[in-house]
Structure 1
Amino acid sequence: MRDNMMKIEFISKSQNESFARVAVAAFVSQLDPTIEELTDVKTAVSEAVTNAIIHGYEGEAGLVRIQTEIQGNEVTIIIADEGKGIEDITKAMEPLYTSRPDLERSGMGFTVMETFMDSLEVKSERGKGTTIIMKKIFKSLN
């Protein structure tokens, strides 16, 4: 059983990326994280939401959903879209790979998520969307 949970959804507009980052950070702040831990979460959420908007929907309107769950000192953040999906997850997760070089994307989104979170799982189906599941254990409660 989870200790606490919240869900939000918003239209896939780049202006909403900062809202998502701040909303998740505000929810997670109940765990009294360090500034570094909070920055890690904000950065990972930012990358996941940006991926959904840029790659999942490619400029088309769609919904991005975020569910954040707290269990003890662990936070699970699930970010999902119903966009085009990822053809090859292994290739997409390679550092410097980008499916949108025309937008000068760095191809480091998944690498950033992996670096700042304790675990990262990516599920995707072509034409049905992508779900990113990230977990972080907060040391401040240990």
Structure 2
Amino acid sequence: MSSRVSPSVAVENYIRLQFPSKSENESFARVAVASFVAQLDPTLEELTEIKTAVSEAVTNAIIHGYENSFGEVRIECSILDHTVKITIEDDGAGIEDISVARQPLYTSRPDLERSGMGMTIMETFMDLMELESSPGCGTRVTLVKTVGDDPSQQPS
């Protein structure tokens, strides 16, 4: 499931991160993405929403994608105009039934007392949340949000 930013794709700026599926790397991912997005001068609310959505996606990759095994999580962020696109990807267990996984309160790990609200939070805080997954092949979450003062969003 490669989502590499191609030079032929129109972007103003981008970053790529890759790190081991260790829970302590979730905060690194959240802060790194927030630092990258800061160039758009987002509001505190927008930045908090992005950080929370990234945190949920990375935690899902670590907890559900790799469970008790080692793997890598990849993040790509790109900016075009005032829109940020964030892709979080793993090569872990994948999701058996995406429609079930997207249901509020669903969790595949009730033993960890997970709330099952991660997908709902991502969908609520972002303008777009896409989920692609294949059992045994991993999962890709794409998050898109327009932030800051986008001139095209201003009334005439």
Q: Which runs of 5+ in 2 are unaligned?
A: 1-9, 152-156
Which of 1 and 2 has greater Rg? Answer: 2
Structure 2 Cα separation of the partners of residues 22 and 128 of structure 1:
27
Structure 2 Cα separation of the partners of residues 60 and 20 of structure 1:
19
Structure 2 Cα separation of the partners of residues 93 and 118 of structure 1:
16
Give how far 1:140 is off. 2.3
Does residue 1:82 correspond to 2:91, yes or no? yes
Does residue 1:100 correspond to 2:114, yes or no? no
TM score, norm. by length of structure 1: 0.98
SS in structure 2 of the partner of residue 114 of structure 1? helix
Q: What are the Cα deviations for residues 83-133 of structure 1, in whole angstroms up to 9, with x where unaligned?
A: 010000000000000000000000000000001000000000110100000
Structure 2 Cα separation of the partners of residues 91 and 129 of structure 1:
17
Q: How many residues align?
A: 142
Give how far 1:59 is off. 2.0
Does residue 1:26 correspond to 2:30, yes or no? no
**CA contact 1:87–1:125 (8 Å) conserved in 2:** yes
Q: Which runs of 5+ in 1 are unaligned?
A: none
Match of 1:129 among 115, 138, 144: 138
Find runs of 4+ consecutive structure 1 residues off by over 4 angstroms.
Answer: none
Give how far 1:139 is off. 4.1
Aligned identity (percent) is: 61
